[in-house]
Structure 1
Amino acid sequence: MFDHYPKWSQEFARKYLSRTINQFILHGNVHDLVPLKEENGTKFNRLKSFLADEFFGARDFVIFYDRASGIYFRDKESQADFNQAIAGRDSLVGTEYAQKMPKDPVRVMSLLEQYFRLRLDQKKSVGLIIDYAETIVPMSDAASIGNEDRTSLVYLSRWAHDPMFLASDFTTVLITENLADLNKTLVQNPYTTDIKINIPGENDRLKFIQFETEKDSWEDLSEVKPEIVAQQTAGLNLVNIRSVLSNARENKEKITFEGLSEAKKELIEAEAYGLLEFVETHYTLDNVAGHKQVKSHLRQAVKALKAGRQDVMPMGYLVCGPVGTGKTFLVTCFASEVGIPMVKLKNFRSQWQGVTEGNLEKILSLLKAMAPVAVMIDEADAYLGDRDASGDSGVSSRVFSQIATFMSDTANRGRIVWFLMTARPDLMPVDLKRQGRAEEHLALFPPHTEEERVELFEAMAKKTGLTLSEEYIPKLIEKGEKTFSGADMEAALTRAKFRAASANEEAVTPEILDAALADFLPPTYPEEVELQTLSAVIECTSKELLPERYRDMDRDDILSTIEELKFRVG
C-alpha cells in the first residue's frame, strides 16, 4: 500500500494506522528532499511539502507552526476555515487574533487546541506540523524548565493521549534535526513515537542524480560516470548533491574525481557544524619508520578491506605507546594506504544543556552514512570520558554510553574502523577496550635496534627536507648513545637545518648534524615514559606484535612496576 513511500514514512503510516499513537517526532535528515516513486519515475519534494500534500493529502485541514513564521497553512481553504473560527472566538472574548496571529507558543497552543476540538467534534480530519520543535520544547531538566516551555509541553502531552484526539483523524508531527535537543519527557512519552530519517543511500543518490540531470548532457557536467558520483557522495544528502550539480551546471566546472572529493569534505564538515575534520596525508605505511610487526599487521587489514572481507576486521583499534612514537602518523598512513577517508572528531562538547548529545548524534549519523570510513580519536583517555563520570549533570556518562553503543554495533564492522590513541591506556575505561569495541590493541615503542634507529633517522630526514652535504649516518644514532622518539628526531633535525641556515650553508654538513644531535636535550620525564611504555606492553593483545625485548617479561612484575610508578608519578 505504501511501497512508493520511503521506508521511514512507511513506518510512520503503519504506526499511525494502529490508532494508538497520533504524535510523531521526525528527526535526523529532516532538511533534505524526500523521494517519492511515481509511474513516470521518482520525484523529490521538501519534507513539509511531502507531509502536507502527499502524506496528509486527504486531510481536511493541514496547519504548520514554527516560532519564527507563526501559524501558516497548506492551502487557502485551511487558512479561511481557521480565520473563520478565530474570528468567532474574537467576537466572544474581545481578542483580535484574526487580524494579527500570535507567534509565541503559549497563545498559539491555546488557539490551536480550541480550533482542533471544534473541528474534531465536527468529524473533520486535521494534521499539525511543528517545525524546529526544539525551540518549542527544548531539552532541559525539570528544575530549569521555563513557564513557556512547561506550558507547551503540557499541551503537546495532552494532545497525545486525549481520548477525543486519539479517536479522531488527528496527527501532530514534530520536526527536529537532533532528538537529543527535545525535552526528554516528551520524547519518552509512551503516547509519542520517534522516527529517524536517514541520510540517503547510494541507490537513492543515483536516482536523484538521474532526476536532477535528465535535461542535461552528462558529458557537459562531469568527467566521471553518474554511478561513480553516487558512490563517492556517501555522507551527503540530496540538497548537498544538488549543490554540486548546480555548481557544475552554472559555473561550467565539470565534476572531477578530485573536485568531488574536495566538495564532499567541505559539505560534510559544514553539515557537522565543524565537529568533524578530514585528515589527509600523502604518506603511506612505507613512510613510517620502525614498528615492523605493527605495519605488517595493518597491511593485512588493508588487504582484507580491499578484498571486501569486512567480516574479518576488528571493530576498532586501541593504539598506545609513549609520547612521540608516531601513533597519529601511523594511523593516518593506514587510512591513506587503504583508500578510505579518515576523520577526526573535534570538540563536540558544549556548556549548554542537551547540545553535547545533539552534536554527537549528528556526528554518529554522518559516520554511518559516510561508511566506509576510519575514525581517529586522539588522547582517547581524556576525550571519551567514563560511564561513571559525574559533576556535569550526567552529560559525560551519556556521551560515553552513546559512543560505546555505536562502537559495538556489529553492522558497522569493517565499515567504520575506530582508532583510539592514547599514551595512557590504563586510564581508558574497560568498556571501550573490551572485545566488540576497540578489539585489537597495538603498542608502539621508540626504536631499539640499530636498524630501527637508522630507519627513523632516514624517515625523519625525508620528512623534514634535510639536505646533507654528503651521505652520512651519525655515529650517535648508529650506536644508540641517545634515545630519540620520532618527535625528538624531527625536532633535532630541524635544529640542524637551523644551524646550517645560520652559517649560510645550503646543506647540513656532518659536523653541523653531529653538533645539533649532541646538543639536543629532549624533555625528560623518565618515570612517566616508563609508565607509558609498560602500560603499552601490558595492553598489547598480540605477543607477536611486541618487540622481542618485551615478549618474555613477567606480566605480574610489569603490573607491580606500573602500580609503583603510578604512586610515584602521582
Structure 2
Amino acid sequence: MENDQAEPKLPEWAASLRRRYRAGEAIQFILHANVLDLQPLGAEYVDLRRFLYEGLLKQTRDVVLFYNLSQGITFAEPKMRETFLRKVEVARAVRGLAGPPDELPHAPDVALPLIEEFLLATGHRSAVVIDYVETIVPRAEVSFLSGDDRANLIALQRWSAEPRLLRSDNVVVLITEHLSDVNAMVLDSPHLAALQIPLPDETARAEFIAHLCQQHPDVTMEMPQRRLAEITAGLTCIQMGAIFQEAKQSGTGVSFDLVRARKKQIIEKECVGLVEFVEPEHDLSMVGGLDQVKGALRNIADNIREGNRQRVPMGVMFVGPMGTGKTYLAEAFAKESGLTCLKLANFRDKWVGSTESNLEKIITVVNALGFVLVIIDEGDRSIGGGREDMDGGTSSRVTAKLKEFMSDTSHRGRTVFVMMTNRPDKLDTDMKRPGRFDQKIPFFAPQTAEAREEILQVLYRKNGLRHRVADFAEAAKRTEGYTGADLEAIVLLSDHFCAAATPKRKLVRDEDLLAAIADFIPSRDALMLEYMELLAVFECSSRSMLPERYRQLTTEELNLKLRALRAELGLR
C-alpha cells in the first residue's frame, strides 16, 4: 500500500484505509456495512475480496491470506501458500516444534494461532483478511462465550496490541456486515480503525448504471440514466444488476413501476420486516379539524419541497391520547411532503446484539435513501420503555445510537423523523430535546362542535360511505369529548344501522347517525385519557396549539395535576 505509482482511483473508504495505514494510525481495520456488494476496479465491478487484493494489496504484499469458518485459510495466489508454510515452519523450528500441517485448519482455535505465528515471523510484508468475523468473535458478555470463543477473542485483541506486530509491516482486515454483531472488546481496541463501506451514492449509482447499459445494450429504459440513478437510492450494485436482469428476461425493459416495486421489495426484505414503505393515499385535505396543526405541517412540507432545508425541523413529535388521529395525520403529512416514507416496525429483539444490529440496518437504509420521512409509531414502546437493569443496557445503547443520528445536522431537510406517542414520559428526556424533535405537537379530542362536524363529514368521504345526513350539527353536539377514533367508529356503525333498516337503504340518514351515537360507548378509562392529555400539554412546544383552557396553566400547576393523576393511576 506504500507504492504511489499507477494507483487506481479508489472509493473513499479504501482511500481512507490506505491513508491511515501509511500514517501509522492502525494496523488492524474492520470494514462494515455494504461489504457484500460489488466494488469498482478499473472498468470492472468485483467482490470485496478481489478488490482488496487487486486494488489495495497486490503491489505491496508478499502474502495475502483470507480466512473464514467455511473456507478456512486460503490465499490470493497459490505461490503465497508456499511462502506461508515456509515462514511458519522456520518459526516453529526455532522453538523446536514440528512444522505446520499439510491440511490447513478451518477451526479458528487452530487457525488463528497458526496465522499469528506467520504474522510474527520476520522478513515478509503480508495482509490477513478475515471475513464474517462476527462468527469468530460474536457479541456477547464474556461469561456467556464458549471457551473457544474466548480464545478467539483474546487472539484478535492480542494482534492489535502485540508490540512485535505493531512494529511489523503487516496489516489485518476484519470484515462484518454489522458492527453490532462483533464483540465489543475487539471494537474497543485503540489500534483498530472501523471503516464503513456505504451504499452507492448517486454518482456511484450513475457510473454503475452506465456499466450495466454497456453490459446489456438490448435492455430498454423508460427514463434517462441519471434519473434511474436518482430513483435507485438505497440499492446496492448487486440489486441494481438484478433489476436489469429481470428487465432483460421479461423483455419489458426498466420501467418506473419495475424499479419502484423491486426497490420496495428489496429494502423491506433486506430489513427483514424492520421497516415498511408507506404510500399514503390521503393528504392533509382529508383531515378534518386540527387547522393549526395542518397549517404548521403544510409549512414544513412547503419548505421541504422548495429546498429550504434550514427551515425544516430535525424531527416532529405528535403527542396525545390514543384515537386522536396522530398516525392518520402523519401519513397525510408524508403525502403532502412528497418524501419517501418509511414506518419503523418494532426492531427490538430478545437475542443479544440483535436490537442494535436491527437499528444499524435501519439507519443504513435511511441514510442511503436520502430524502425520507421516518414514522415511528408508539415511540414509547419501540424506543422507550426498556429498563437498563432488565435488558443488559440494550435500551441505553439503542437510544444513544438513535440520538447520535437524529442530532446530525447534515440530515436536516433530508431525513425528517415523525414520532407518535401517548406516553412521552417513558422516553429519554434528552431524546425529546430541540435539535432532535424541534416541534412537539399536542393532539386532543376535537375541541369544538364545528371541528367534530367537519371530521364526521370527512370520515364519510374517507370510508367511501354514501349518506344523506342533513344535520351534522346535531351529531356534533352529542359527541362532545369524543376522539377522532370514536367518531370514525360511529360513522362505520351508522352504516350498519342503515343496512339493518327495513326496508334496506343504501344511503345513511340522520336517524342512522344518531342511533349509532346513542349505541356507541366511548372509552371508560377517563383517568388515563386525562393523564395522556396533560402529558401532551406538558410536552407541547407551542402555546398557540393548546386549547384555551390549558394556555394559562403554569408549569407548577401542570406538574401538580400530573403527580396527582400518576398517584391515582399507580404509575411510577
Assess same fold via TM > 0.5: yes
Q: Deviations over 1:246-288 (max 9, x none)?
A: 2112222322223322221111112222211112211000011
Is 1:11 matched with 2:16?
yes
Contact preservation (8 Å) 2:65, 2:74: yes
Q: Deviations over 1:109-136 (max 9, x none)?
A: 122233344xx42x22211111100001
Is 1:101 matched with 2:99?
no
**Where in structure 1 do 4 or more consecutive aligned residues deviate above 6 Å?**
84-96
Shift of 1:96: 8.7
1:12-31 to structure 2, matched below 5 A, reads 12-19=17-24, 21-31=26-36
- Equivalent residue number for residue 482 of structure 2: 484
- Name the SS for the 1:189 alignment partner: coil
Q: Deviations over 1:323-350 (max 9, x none)?
A: 1110011011101111111112222222
Question: TM-score with structure 1 length normalisation?
Answer: 0.92
Shift of 1:216: 3.7
Shift of 1:215: 4.2
1:334-349 to structure 2, matched below 5 A, reads 334-349=333-348
- Equivalent residue number for residue 58 of structure 2: 57
Is 1:418 matched with 2:408?
no
Amino acid at match of 2:21: Y
Change (3 A) 1:490 1:343: same
Change (3 A) 1:365 1:513: same
Shift of 1:500: 3.0
Amino acid at match of 1:129: V
Change (3 A) 1:167 1:440: same
1:325-340 to structure 2, matched below 5 A, reads 325-340=324-339
- Name the SS for the 1:375 alignment partner: strand
Contact preservation (8 Å) 1:311, 1:414: yes
- Equivalent residue number for residue 73 of structure 2: 71
Q: Deviations over 1:441-486 (max 9, x none)?
A: 1112222223211111011112222222x24334542324543311
Counterpart Cα distance in 1 of 2:387 and 2:527: 28
Counterpart Cα distance in 2 of 1:107 and 1:345: 43
Counterpart Cα distance in 2 of 1:212 and 1:551: 61
Counterpart Cα distance in 2 of 1:523 and 1:206: 55
Contact preservation (8 Å) 1:390, 1:396: no
- Name the SS for the 1:221 alignment partner: coil
Counterpart Cα distance in 2 of 1:79 and 1:473: 88
Counterpart Cα distance in 2 of 1:295 and 1:178: 40
Shift of 1:548: 3.8
Counterpart Cα distance in 2 of 1:132 and 1:26: 10
Shift of 1:72: 1.5
- Name the SS for the 2:391 alignment partner: coil
Change (3 A) 1:361 1:215: closer
- Equivalent residue number for residue 223 of structure 2: 224
Contact preservation (8 Å) 2:531, 2:566: yes
- Name the SS for the 2:24 alignment partner: coil
Work out the percentage of aligned pairs sharing the same amino acid. 35
**Count of residue pairs the alignment pairs up:** 560
1:103-182 to structure 2, matched below 5 A, reads 103-117=106-120, 120-121=121-122, 123-182=123-182
Gap runs ≥5 in structure 2: none
Question: TM-score with structure 2 length normalisation?
Answer: 0.92
Q: Deviations over 1:370-404 (max 9, x none)?
A: 12111111121232127973222111111111111
Q: Deviations over 1:112-165 (max 9, x none)?
A: 233344xx42x2221111110000111121222221112112222223233333
Counterpart Cα distance in 2 of 1:141 and 1:161: 21
Deviates more, 1:70-79 or 1:400-409: 70-79
Counterpart Cα distance in 2 of 1:351 and 1:72: 36
Gap runs ≥5 in structure 1: none
Shift of 1:75: 1.5
Amino acid at match of 1:101: L
Contact preservation (8 Å) 2:478, 2:517: no
Counterpart Cα distance in 2 of 1:311 and 1:500: 52
Shift of 1:10: 1.0
Amino acid at match of 1:422: T
Shift of 1:49: 0.6
Counterpart Cα distance in 1 of 2:561 and 2:342: 36
Contact preservation (8 Å) 1:248, 1:255: yes
Change (3 A) 1:334 1:148: same
Counterpart Cα distance in 1 of 2:289 and 2:168: 71
Deviates more, 1:70-79 or 1:196-205: 70-79
1:558-569 to structure 2, matched below 5 A, reads 558-569=558-569
- Equivalent residue number for residue 349 of structure 2: 350
Counterpart Cα distance in 2 of 1:327 and 1:130: 48
Shift of 1:237: 1.6
1:291-302 to structure 2, matched below 5 A, reads 291-302=290-301
- Equivalent residue number for residue 544 of structure 2: 544
Contact preservation (8 Å) 2:318, 2:442: yes
Q: Out of 460, 469, 472, which is 2:470 matched to?
A: 472
Contact preservation (8 Å) 1:474, 1:514: no
- Name the SS for the 2:65 alignment partner: strand
Contact preservation (8 Å) 2:450, 2:473: no
Contact preservation (8 Å) 1:315, 1:414: yes
Change (3 A) 1:556 1:156: closer
Is 1:449 matched with 2:448?
yes
Counterpart Cα distance in 2 of 1:89 and 1:246: 51
- Equivalent residue number for residue 287 of structure 2: 288
Q: Deviations over 1:178-228 (max 9, x none)?
A: 11211111111112221111111111110110011124448x422111111
Shift of 1:173: 0.7
Counterpart Cα distance in 1 of 2:469 and 2:385: 51
Contact preservation (8 Å) 1:543, 1:551: yes
Counterpart Cα distance in 1 of 2:254 and 2:212: 15
Deviates more, 1:289-298 or 1:445-454: 445-454
Shift of 1:536: 1.4
Counterpart Cα distance in 1 of 2:230 and 2:298: 25
Amino acid at match of 1:500: C
Q: Deviations over 1:55-97 (max 9, x none)?
A: 1112221111111111122112123444667799999977993
- Name the SS for the 1:314 alignment partner: coil
Counterpart Cα distance in 2 of 1:89 and 1:531: 73
